[in-house]
């Protein structure tokens, strides 16, 4: 500050002298001169004050600081939350379900145990399609189909399965689904009496009905749960009482004969619908599961009847088709499994099929028999359609191609279904670009047969 003041005094003085000698206005030089004098004065005052302060500080005696003997405060480290505490904070409702289901204090578990148990319950509940809180009820519901006497075997098999679960998920045995299953199975084993005697008791009281049930259902009632045994008995009793059938063996004959009667009047498809509707209504009245219902067994009885009486149930046209198709298949025999690739397809088989086809088309007796069956206007159509089904399946060619080969054996026939080079049937058929083998890359054109030579 003092230095800047002297500069202003010098510059202001010189400017004043110059301006005065030249007769100019001296206001500016006077301002700078006055400013410089003021700054010099203030600078001197500041220096004096500083000197006084330094002198006063030197005259004061030096004091030795006294250190107070205060106790040192130790700050405790912040405790990190456990895995379970963090999970409980973010999933309070699920955490509550887990503790209620497992009936343990999860906060006392290690981080590993808590994590593995949570993940195990997530897997278990998802596999059962339920929430964690419903896992036990859902699992025991599935186990109801097994009688109590089998629980020991189930525990043994589950114990063996536990090893696979441990290795698969790299977890402790106590944190597996298997361990939880075993715990619940043991609870059921303790709480439920052995139900082994129910069927035997009922069988001793109703020997004829029991024998009928074993024959009609073809099930081992000793291996069934009490619930299944009771429902099956209830279902058959309901049907027998409704139709006044004293002998339960007559139940099968009743439904099979009803189906046969409906089939003759309504046709096979409609007959099956009517019988199914009747059986389902009866099952709803009995209020049992479909697995234990008469409906479940009647379907098997009707299917068995259809297989044993297939020819009798067929219409004249279907019967004629079946007989002709059987002749074609019998002619092929074991050749169906032998690769006979030649001229683009299995021509030896095709030749034999054409021979049979022409035999039928030119046989006056067969034509007359077809006319008796009312098929006089469909005879040729049936022969052609059934033959083509077989040629497509076993020869990989259209019927027209087989006919051309049969009528003109020296004429090379290139099929649209087989590669003429490698014999592969993996073909791409493009309308614009022709045919291409996806195995060897061969491309070719193969027009459909121009005429149907009959």
Q: Where are the domains of the chain?
A: 2-50, 94-191, 197-313, 316-444
**Tens of pLDDT, residues 396-451:** 778 888 888 788 777 766 777 778 777 777 888 876 678 888 888 888 887 654 44
Q: How far apart are CA 89 and CA 67, in angstroms?
A: 48
Which of 397, 389, 385 is CA-nearest to residue 425? Answer: 397
Q: Is the pTM of this model over 0.85?
A: no
**Tens of pLDDT, residues 183-234:** 998 888 777 655 556 788 888 889 999 999 999 988 888 878 788 888 899 9
Q: How far apart are CA 255 and CA 262, in angstroms?
A: 10
Residue 362: the pLDDT is: 83
Which of 440, 452, 446 is CA-nearest to residue 417? Answer: 446
* 287: alpha, beta or left? (left if phi > 0; alpha if psi -120 to 50): left
**Tens of pLDDT, residues 115-150:** 999 999 999 999 999 999 999 999 988 887 777 767
Residue 345, phi then psi, degrees to nearest 5: -165, 180
Contact 347, 290 (CB under 8 A): no
Residue 192: the pLDDT is: 67
Which regions of 256-357 does DSSP assign to beta strands (E)? none
Q: What is the mean pLDDT of residues 252-273?
A: 80
* 398: alpha, beta or left? (left if phi > 0; alpha if psi -120 to 50): beta
Residue 13: the pLDDT is: 64
**Tens of pLDDT, residues 66-105:** 545 555 565 666 778 899 999 999 999 999 999 999 999 9
Location of structure tokens 């092929």: 332
DSSP 112-154: HHHHHHHHHHHHHHHHHTS-GGGHHHHHHHHHTTS-GGGHHHH
């Amino acid at each position: 500050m003092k230095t800047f003041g002297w500069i202003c005094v010098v510059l202001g003085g010189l400017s004043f002298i110059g301006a005065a000698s030249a007769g100019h206005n001296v206001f500016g030089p006077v301002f700078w001169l006055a400013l410089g004098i003021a700054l010099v004065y203030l600078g001197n005052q500041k220096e004096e004050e500083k000197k006084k302060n330094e002198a006063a500080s030197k005259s004061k005696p030096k004091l030795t600081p006294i250190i107070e003997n205060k106790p040192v405060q130790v700050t405790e480290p912040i405790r990190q939350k456990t895995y379970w505490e963090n999970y409980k904070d973010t999933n309070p409702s699920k955490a509550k379900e887990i503790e209620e289901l497992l009936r343990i204090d999860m906060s006392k578990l290690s981080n590993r145990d808590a994590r593995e148990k949570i993940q195990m319950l997530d897997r278990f509940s998802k596999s059962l399609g339920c929430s964690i809180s419903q896992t036990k009820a859902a699992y025991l519901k599935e186990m109801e189909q097994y009688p109590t006497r089998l629980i020991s075997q189930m525990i043994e098999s589950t114990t063996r399965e536990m090893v696979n679960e441990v290795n698969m998920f790299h977890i402790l045995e106590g944190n597996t689904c298997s361990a939880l299953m075993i715990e619940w199975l043991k609870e059921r084993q303790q709480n439920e009496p052995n139900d082994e005697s129910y069927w035997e008791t009922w069988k001793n009281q109703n020997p004829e009905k029991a024998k009928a049930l074993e024959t009609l259902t073809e099930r081992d009632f000793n291996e069934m749960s009490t619930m299944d045994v009771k429902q099956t008995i209830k279902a058959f009793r309901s049907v027998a009482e409704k139709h006044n059938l004293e002998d339960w063996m007559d139940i099968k004959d009743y439904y099979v004969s009803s189906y046969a009667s409906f089939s003759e009047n309504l046709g096979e498809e409609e007959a099956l619908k009517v019988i199914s509707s009747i059986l389902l209504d009866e099952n709803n009245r009995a209020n049992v599961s479909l697995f234990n219902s008469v409906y479940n067994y009647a379907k098997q009885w009707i299917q068995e009847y259809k297989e044993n009486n297939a020819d009798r149930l067929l219409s004249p046209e279907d019967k004629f088709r079946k007989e002709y198709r059987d002749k074609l298949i019998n002619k092929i025999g074991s050749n169906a499994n032998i690769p006979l690739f030649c001229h683009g397809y299995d021509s030896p088989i095709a030749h034999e099929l054409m021979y049979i086809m022409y035999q039928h088309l030119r046989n006056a007796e067969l034509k007359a028999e077809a006319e008796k069956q009312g098929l006089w206007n469909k005879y040729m159509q049936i022969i052609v359609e059934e033959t083509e089904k077989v040629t497509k399946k076993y020869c990989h060619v259209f019927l027209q191609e087989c006919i051309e080969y049969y009528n003109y054996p020296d004429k090379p026939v290139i099929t649209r279904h087989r590669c003429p080079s490698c014999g592969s049937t993996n073909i791409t058929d493009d309308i614009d670009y022709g045919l291409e083998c996806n195995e060897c890359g061969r491309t070719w054109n193969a027009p459909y047969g121009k005429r149907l030579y009959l």
